[in-house]
Amino acid sequence: MESAILKTENLSAFFGSQCVIKSVNLEFPKNNVTAIMGPSGCGKTTLIRCMNRMHELVPGASTSGKILLNDEDLNAINPILVRRKVGMVFQRPNPFPTMSIYDNVIAGYKLNGIRKKRAEFDRIVEESLKKAALWDEVKNTLHRKGTFLSGGQQQRLCIARALAMNPEAILLDEPTSALDPKATSLIEELIGELEKSITIIIVTHNTAQAARISEYTAFMYLGEMVEFGNTEKLFTVPKHKKTEEYLTGKFG
């Protein structure tokens, strides 16, 4: 396996005393797409929320074990810095409703009080929107509100907002589940482009999507990591009966 940029070591997550992720060990190879799949409620979203320390924002939530980014323990770093290094895009597009397209892209800088010259922000906005394959559609309306965009465009705007902070990895939580097939296909194409320069971890319950866009797949069930490996191999010769049952639609 290629070198891992992000790793979990015996990672468990709790809501109060309830354990929702049980001792997960995973390595995410650099500049690849890793899909995390499994039935609803198996802990996929909680797992990625631990990776940028959003899980702990829930009252009573906690974790044990380690999460390492380039071998640095994320729990020892200021969570604001962690979220710059590990960006996140949610299931439903969520551009800031009061902000223009332009201000949405640089929201991370503004919210963190990072000052830059206007020309530098102009460059970041253009580069991020180009990386998110949105620039040509919005370059003449940058000062309109982001909420005027279609669902698929809003999701690409959210991806641009994550990319603007120059993260090392991006977490995508079912980013296409609220989108139509055409918008979904655009986002999938975009993921294929982005992985050349960034590590992508995508939660999906859509097995066909995982097969299409990822090099590696992790299968979770009831908070446990059942199987992890090369996507093609996992889909054609799964090692575990549970994985096989999930892939053949016996449950989910």
Domains detected in the chain: 4-95+167-247 (3.40.50.300)
Backbone angles phi, psi at 75, to 5 degrees: -75, -10
* CA triple 233-235-237, angle to 5 deg: 60
Is the Cβ–Cβ distance between 42 and 93 less than 8 Å? no
State the average pLDDT over residues 93-109. Answer: 96
**Average pLDDT of the chain?**
95
Residue 252 has pLDDT above 80, yes or no: no
Residue 249 pLDDT class (50, 70, 90 cuts) = confident
Measured CA to CA, the distance from residue 32 to residue 234 in angstroms comes to 16
Residue 2 has pLDDT above 80, yes or no: no
This prediction has a pTM of: 0.94
Q: What is the pLDDT of residues 64-82, one digit of tens each?
A: 999 999 999 999 999 999 9
162: tokens are 């994550």
